[in-house]
Amino acid sequence: MPFFVTWALHSAKNKMKTKIDLTGQRFGRLTVIEFAYIKNKKTYWRCKCDCGGEKITQYYSLKVGYTKSCGCLQKEKRDSGNPTHGNYYTRLYKIWSMMKSRCYNKNTQKYKDWGGRGITVCNKWLDYLGFKEDMQESYDEHLKIYGKINTTIDRIDNDGNYELSNCQWATQKEQQNNRRNNKIKI
């Protein structure tokens, strides 16, 4: 007896549904091997990946290309990182990225307090490798002592730009004391 198949194609006129059997079809690295189950009126299919892994996924995710592998493709992309520097998924890269965003992305909520006030990033730091060259060593030292949560980039002069002579690593408490609206400086 054939497996139940998904109800996927709809006729606009009579709203009739057509059954589709995905067995044997290929989506990215996945080949559908069998129907798995229906949940909340959505069909799920068991797939075999080119790497040998298996994944059960929803028909729609296969059809539109949301799911292309068992997860190995995402892992390969993550492990390769950015071919230029390989630090795309590191915390230092995220700090650099957010720093630039605050200064140059008008759509970010924090833009008004940084870029909107004229705060910029020095030319060397517009490239991640320049920022890393200047700040990696001091970042690693601060991180060992204070941990991830308490290692944040801080401008010494709140009206100054992001540049080596005006930046340091600071704890959350030090950051709070360095805010423009703080009346008591400790």
For 54-77, write each residue's pLDDT tens digit.
999 999 899 888 899 998 887 777
Alpha-carbon span 49 to 31, nearest angstrom: 6
Mean pLDDT score across all residues of the chain: 84
Alpha-carbon span 35 to 57, nearest angstrom: 10
DSSP 3-state assignment of 122?
A: coil
Alpha-carbon span 57 to 45, nearest angstrom: 5
For 127-171, write each residue's pLDDT tens digit.
999 999 999 999 999 999 999 999 999 999 989 999 999 999 999
Which pLDDT value is given to residue 183?
Answer: 60
Strands (DSSP E) found in 25-176: 26-27, 30-39, 42-49, 54-58, 152-155, 167-170
* pLDDT higher than threshold 50 for residue 14: no
**Overall pTM > 0.75:** no
* pLDDT higher than threshold 80 for residue 32: yes
- For 105, residues 6+ apart whose C-beta sits below 8 A from its C-beta are 111, 115
Stretch 6-20: mean pLDDT, rounded? 44
- Of 50 and 17, which is predicted with more confidence? 50
Stretch 99-113: mean pLDDT, rounded? 92
Q: Is the distance from CB of 175 to CB of 186 less than 8 angstroms?
A: no
Phi, psi of 84, deg, nearest 5: -75, -45
